[in-house]
Amino acid sequence: MKLSGLRIYAIVYLVFLYAPIILLPLFAFNDGTIIAFPLQGFTTRWFTDLAATEALIEATGNSLFIAVTVAILATCLGLFAARAGARYTFPAKSGILGFIMLPLVLPEIIVAVSLLVVMLQAGLSTGLWSIIAGHVLICTPFAVAILQGSFANMDRSLEEAAIDLGETPISTFRLVTLPLVTPGIIASLLICFTISLDEFIIAFFLSGNEPTLPVYLWGQLRFPARLPIVMALGTILVALSVILLILAEYVRKRGLKRAGLKDTGGFV
Amino acid sequence: MNAQTKAGQAPIIRLQDVHKYYGDYHALRGISAEIGQGEFFSLLGPSGCGKTTLLRAIAGFEDISSGAILLSGQNMEGVPPNKRPTNMVFQSYAIFPHLSVAENVGFGLRKSGLDRAAKARAVGEALEMVGLSGFRSRAAHALSGGQRQRVALARALILKPKVLLLDEPLSALDKKMREIMQVELIKLQREVGITFILVTHDQEEALVMSDRIAVMFEGEIAQLDEPERLYRRPNSKRVAEFIGVMNFLEASAQQTGEKITLEVAGLGKAEITPEQCPAGAVSGACSVGLRPETLSILFEGEQSKARLAEGVVDEVVYYGDMTYYDIRLDGASAPVRISMRNVISRPVLEVGARAQVTWDPRAMVLFN
């Protein structure tokens, strides 16, 4: 194998990108409170400490509740928007769809601050539901993007054929549309779940006294003695995110194969 | 225009002055026709002529702007596609990719109230009808184009519709497969006795399969006739050119009683009957249409009692079984195309050679 300039560049680039992540599990299993080489020896102590920290378990519970709710809400909204975008023409269609996709390019800090201002002005208390609202806002564009792909892959005469064969529009959606976009729905659920789970800025601004996992984690960084526990937590989060992404892609690919369609892109 | 359905057939579909607008675009401009019970009816025209719009209007997928579509005497206005006694074979076949062949074919039976065994029997019969008996549990996406076509047919016919609508069903198949399916479709239609309405842009396909053909241009029916009449007596130059090849020769006409006397450039005098003027009586400058196979080259040693003309070979196109000659007749401004079957005794003429051409006034069609 020849080491050309471009190849070296690619390797250096990947190392730069992923080496810090490898440090996470390395120090999570390191028997010492100081994050520095040389390593002190192997321990799973930080993981057991982790499990014993009540505030942490509570934060995890909050995060999971938010992530699941957001995934379902954003995917439902994405499903409606994607179907409408793929099947109908209506006035100001591209404007409306563009508006839905806008949070994708909007800095999260702006979304977070403006949501906080609105909440305070309206006299609403911040907490889980306000985080959910913020996360749905930023996750819906992802859901729309994924599901638009699913609808674009689907021959529109399939729905017409089902109606022609005697089904109502609603039973057609259930019998034909839904099974064919299921891979997209699952992928969308998983990706929205992942985005919500490790989203920090919105959660930080809107969490009130119900911190999510990333917010709790950030709080712990102030205590050097707690750092290895944070590393352990980070390890679990990274592993979870990777597993979910792989799962989402697997489901999407399998769905395409079952429907006999060509792969036209994806995330992994 | 031949607006009558085939003899002895009650009309199952009546189209009464059907108009369709898309915004400002006038897609259907007053379509009126009657389609008989058990008839194989084709809508033929170039893309954008409104033939698919008309088919989809009959199926109920498009609302019409004015006029009426009657199915067995019943006005279909406001009746959704799932309540109409029509079924459709889509251009893409629209086979449900997540279902097996048997599930696809039995899809329409879901609301039929039949029990499992009866449904399975009906699916079996439908698959047998299209020659796919062994394919029950095959996944739909693992089928070839021809097999998909058959599944789509079985799926539509299992509901015993009054009318089967076919939207360019053969256009996705290769030439060989298309010819096989043409014959199978004709056989199937005779077998089930259901009215078929076929949309196609392929004039050959329409001629081969149909009892009657409606040729459509720009949202209007230009001519509605049986295939042979449509080919032999097209009522306009446009129809003549759309269906097969037609030579046009300049001429002048004079009508005396039941006879029309022509002076045709390159051919000379000819007498024809009013029946040969499907567009109506013509006098003065006009043009005469002749199909390539109605003209013939007289080779050396051959004799003919038919009338003769002479010209120079302008172009030769060799097709194996046939040779097409473009011959510039003496005194004519443009060459005429002549198709000749290649038989042993006939050499293939060369460009520039002189040729004798036989012709028959009975084959002529007169146009403005």
CATH for B11-236? 3.40.50.300
Judged on CB neighbours under 10 Å (0-12, 13-18, 19+), B329 is buried
Cα dihedral across residues A166, A172, A174, A176: positive or negative: positive
Whether the per-residue pLDDT at B326 is higher than 70: the answer is yes
The whole-angstrom distance between B366's CA and the closest CA on chain A is: 44
The mean per-residue pLDDT over the stretch B282-286 comes to: 84
Give the residue range(s) of CATH 2.40.50.140 domains in chain B: 245-367
Cα dihedral A151/A156/A162/A165 (nearest 10): 180
The whole-angstrom distance between A160's CA and the closest CA on chain B is: 8
Q: What is A63-258's CATH superfamily?
A: MetI-like (1.10.3720.10)
The mean per-residue pLDDT over the stretch B107-128 comes to: 90
The mean per-residue pLDDT over the stretch A160-173 comes to: 92
Residue with tokens 């006029």: B67
Q: Which residue in the set B59, B98, B110 is minimally distant from A259, CB to CB?
A: B98
Give the residue range(s) of CATH 3.40.50.300 domains in chain B: 11-236
Whether the per-residue pLDDT at A54 is higher than 80: the answer is yes
The mean per-residue pLDDT over the stretch A170-195 comes to: 89
Domain edges within chain A: 63-258
How many angstroms from the chain centroid is the CA of residue A229? 24
Chain A residue set in contact with B, beta carbons under 8 Å: 155, 157-158, 160-168, 176, 179-180, 258-261
Verify whether the Cβ–Cβ distance B108 to A166 is below 8 Å. yes
What residues in A contact B88, CB-CB < 8 Å? 160-161, 164
Whether the per-residue pLDDT at A257 is higher than 60: the answer is yes
Strands (E), chain B: 11-22, 25-36, 40-44, 66-71, 74-75, 86-89, 163-167, 195-200, 212-217, 220-225, 247-256, 259-264, 268-272, 284-290, 296-298, 307-318, 322-329, 336-341, 354-359, 365-367
Taking the C-alpha atoms of residue A186 and residue A255, their distance in angstroms, rounded to an integer, is: 10
Verify whether the Cβ–Cβ distance B110 to A167 is below 8 Å. yes
Predicted confidence at residue B167, as pLDDT, reads 93
Verify whether the Cβ–Cβ distance A167 to B87 is below 8 Å. no
The mean per-residue pLDDT over the stretch A144-156 comes to: 88
The answer to whether B98 faces chain A, any CB pair under 8 Å, is: yes
Q: Which residue in the set B91, B111, B141 is minimally distant from A260, CB to CB?
A: B141
Residue of A nearest to B103 (CA): A175
What residues in B contact A153, CB-CB < 8 Å? none
The answer to whether B111 faces chain A, any CB pair under 8 Å, is: yes
What Cα–Cα distance (Å) separates residue A80 from each residue in A73, A87, A134, A143, A176?
A: 11, 11, 19, 10, 16
What residues in A contact B94, CB-CB < 8 Å? 155, 157-158, 160-161
Name the residue among B96, B61, B99, B64 with its Cα closest to residue B82.
B61
The answer to whether B103 faces chain A, any CB pair under 8 Å, is: no
What architecture does CATH give domain B245-367?
A: Beta Barrel (2.40)
Half-sphere exposure of A244 (CA within 13 A, CB side): 22
DSSP-assigned letters across all residues of B51-79: HHHHHHHHHTSS--SEEEEEETTEE-TT-
pTM equals 0.80
Is the complex ipTM more than 0.90? no
Phi and psi at B122, nearest 5°, equal -60, -40
Residue of B nearest to A181 (CA): B98
Phi and psi at B206, nearest 5°, equal -65, -45
| Mutation for testing the A interface, residue in B56, B90, B149 having most A CBs under 10 Å | B90
The string of pLDDT tens digits covering residues B130-180 is 888 888 888 888 888 889 989 999 999 999 999 999 999 888 888 888 888
The string of pLDDT tens digits covering residues A27-38 is 888 777 777 777
The answer to whether B171 faces chain A, any CB pair under 8 Å, is: no
CB B221 within 8 Å of CB B31: yes
DSSP-assigned letters across all residues of A117-179: HHHHHTTPPPSHHHHHHHHHHHHHHHHHHHHHHHHHHS-THHHHHHHHTT--HHHHIIIIIHH
